[in-house]
Amino acid sequence: MRIPLIAGNWKMNKSVTEARSFIEAVQGKLPAADVVETAIAAPALFLQTMLDANRDQVLRVAAETCYYEDEGAYTGETSPKALHEMGIPYTIVGHSERRRYFNETDDVINRKVLAVLRNGMTPIVCCDETMGRRESGEKIHWVVNQVSAALKGVSLEDAAKIVVAYEPSWAIGSGTSASSDQAEEGCYLIRQTLADIYSDEVANGVRVLYGGSVKPDNIAGLMKRDNVDGVLAGGSSLDEHSFIQLANYQNL
Ligand SMILES: O=C(CO)COP(=O)(O)O
């Protein structure tokens, strides 16, 4: 059984004080982690404050990115080894904004996936799809290629632990989510790719999330779909009331 994962991605938003108040506000209001797992990925400089404020330990505090080396002369980068040592369980890798604004290539993303796994964390591997590619019918090829490239050299045992997120760029920050049919189609395609690369067993165990304008008023429809195991929410994860609603989508 795949436990749903409702994850937020704060991107470069909030101050440390705001991050702390958010964590305090959600204590006791999220579902038990063995029923619906919840996570917030935040800027590295907030993580320790968030961990300290997270008294009930239900919410997973996650990173938005990290470097692919464990340590060394890489000014400004975040070490996956240090993240693990802090107690961070998840790191997003390959978000479309990292690909677009920071020139992260499939090769860099693959190295980061390997580094996150090597350091005992779980990567949330993002897979992007542009509208141009969707309209030209190129989507299948594109999604399959990104998943395969990100997982190059990942063992079957490690592949079983990862999380993948289908995040069409045309739905990110647009206010208009993909329809539940489109989300299901993207997540199914990712699962099929995992089955082709690894096995049906791995594909059936991996959680595949949908991301792009997920809000309290559309999450229930998305979560009903067979291959959508959770969401990665940007804007609607910034407000604690809205995140609590997303986490409790089963009651909406
Ligand atoms: O990029 C996203 C999550 O990683 C989605 O962002 P929005 O929910 O703001 O569209």
pLDDT in tens, 132-162: 666 666 666 788 899 999 999 999 999 999 9
Contact between 194 and 159 under an 8 Å Cβ cutoff? The reply is yes
Residue 173 CB coordination number (10 Å): 13
Summarize the confidence of residues 14-36 as an average pLDDT: 98
| Residue nearest atom 6 in ligand 1 by C-alpha distance | 234
84 tagged catalytic:
no
Strands (DSSP E) along the chain, which ranges? 5-9, 37-42, 60-63, 90-93, 122-129, 163-168, 207-211, 230-233
The encoded tokens of residue 84 equal 């693990």
Q: Which among 207, 178, 212, 182 has a CA at the least distance from the CA of 194? A: 207
On whether 234 is known to bind a ligand per the annotation, the reply is yes
Whole-number Å distance, alpha carbon 171 to ligand 1 midpoint, is 8
Q: ipTM score of the complex?
A: 0.99
| Terminal-to-terminal C-alpha distance of the chain | 22
Of all residues in the chain, the percent with pLDDT exceeding 70 is 96
232 lines ligand 1 (CB under 6 A): yes
Does the annotation flag 173 for ligand binding? yes
User: 39 CB less than 6 Å from ligand 1?
Assistant: no
Q: How many CB atoms lie within 10 A of CB 53?
A: 19
**pLDDT the model gives residue 32:** 97
- Which of 64, 84, 95, 104 is the catalytic position? 95
Q: Which atom of ligand 1 is nearest to the CA of 172?
A: 10
Question: Left (φ > 0), alpha (ψ -120 to 50) or beta: where does 87 sit?
Answer: left
From the CB of 214, is ligand 1 less than 6 Å away?
yes
CA distance 250 to 142: 33
Q: Is 94 in the pocket of ligand 1 (CB under 6 A)?
A: no
CA distances to 175, 236, 237 from 217, rounded to whole Å, are 12, 11, 13
Q: pTM, whole model, 2 decimals?
A: 0.96
pLDDT score for 129 = 79
